[in-house]
Amino acid sequence: MTTTTPARKIHLLGSASYRDEAEAMLAAPGDAVLVERGLLRSLILCCPDGCGETLVVNLDPRAGKAWRLYQRRGAISVYPSVWRDGGCESHFIVWKDRILWCGVFNEGNEEPDYDPAIEPLVLDALPADRFVDPATIAQQLDLIVWDAGKALRRLVAHGEAREGVGSFKGTFERLP
Decide: 137 and 148 in contact? Cβ < 8 Å: yes
- The beta strand positions in the chain, using DSSP E, are 11-16, 31-37, 39-46, 54-58, 68-72, 75-83, 91-95, 98-101, 161-163, 172-174
User: From edge to edge, which strands make up the β-sheet containing 75-83?
Assistant: 68-72, 75-83, 91-95, 98-101
Domain ranges within the chain, ordered by starting residue: 11-101, 116-174
pLDDT score of 85: 86
Q: Which CATH number fits domain 116-174: 1.10.460.10, 1.10.10.10, 2.70.98.10, 3.40.190.10?
A: 1.10.10.10
DSSP state of 142: T
What's the whole-number mean pLDDT along residues 102-123? 90
The answer to whether residue 2 scores a pLDDT higher than 50 is: no
Quick: pLDDT tens for 58-107.
999 999 999 999 999 999 999 999 998 888 889 999 999 999 999 777 78
Please write the tens of the pLDDT for every residue from 16-52.
999 999 999 999 999 999 999 999 999 999 999 999 9
pLDDT band at 5, cuts 50/70/90?
Answer: confident
